[in-house]
Amino acid sequence: ETETGDDNLIRTAGNEDPWERETIATGIDLETSTYQIQGIREIRHITVDLDRNDLEHVSFYDTGRKEVMYFYHRPDGTWTTPESVGSSAGLNSLSLAINPVTDLPAISYGDNNRDLFFTYYDGSRWNKESVDSEKNMGGYSSLAFDSSGTPYIAYNSGLHYSNLMVASRNPDGSWNTEK
């Protein structure tokens, strides 16, 4: 669970009282929805998921560097240094999910050009795919996997994001989109 308080983003976890608490972001500005993680300022769109060992994986958009960033909680209790997994001139949505088959992270995001992207870690590097690049696509994406590891992305499309869309990835890497 995460919470905000005293301008910080706090990670809380545990099965006993009191729960373990750890600050993972500081300097939260609620008016601009920006944060600071490990010295990186101007952060938006924080998203978190757990792997099969209940370790946190975090993704966010660094508005200063204009990059989608990712880091995770190691089994020894330390955090990795945030790394860039893709660049974007701007971002309007971001969603992180852990593939249940590979236990590896994937991220969907819509950029300010209204394109929808899917990027995933294959165990050695990040791979970026265009899911939908029609005009006014990719708003407010939400990524999930089915039990066989197939990714699905729900997102809004249209001039005012008035159409709910769902994209699913085929085994050959192409994408199906439907309203």
Pick the more confident residue, 118 or 10: 118
**pLDDT of res. 102:** 97
**pLDDT of res. 123:** 96
Pick the more confident residue, 39 or 109: 109
- Three-state SS sequence of 54-106: CCEEEEEEECCCCEEEEEEECCCCCECCCEEEEECCCEEEEEEEECCCCCCEE
Average pLDDT estimate for 52-67: 86
Pick the more confident residue, 152 or 17: 152
Q: How many CA atoms lie within 13 A of 49 on its CB side?
A: 21
**pLDDT of res. 4:** 44
Q: How many whole angstroms separate alpha carbon 128 and alpha carbon 76?
A: 29
**pLDDT of res. 11:** 54
Radius of gyration of the chain (CA): 16
Specify the residue for token string 């997994």. Answer: 85
Q: How many CA atoms lie within 13 A of 178 on its CB side?
A: 4
Is it true that the peptide bond before 18 is cis, omega within 30 degrees of 0? Answer: yes
**pLDDT of res. 2:** 44
Do residues 94 and 109 touch, judged by C-beta distance below 8 A? yes
pTM for the model: 0.77
Q: Which tens digit of pLDDT belongs to each residue from 118-177?
A: 999 999 999 999 898 776 565 678 999 999 999 999 988 765 556 788 999 999 999 998
pLDDT band at 9 (very low <50, low <70, confident <90, very high): low
Do residues 111 and 92 touch, judged by C-beta distance below 8 A? yes
Kindly give, in sequence order, each residue whose CB lies less than 8 Å from that of residue 4, ignoring residues fewer than 6 positions away.
10, 28, 30
Pick the more confident residue, 119 or 87: 119
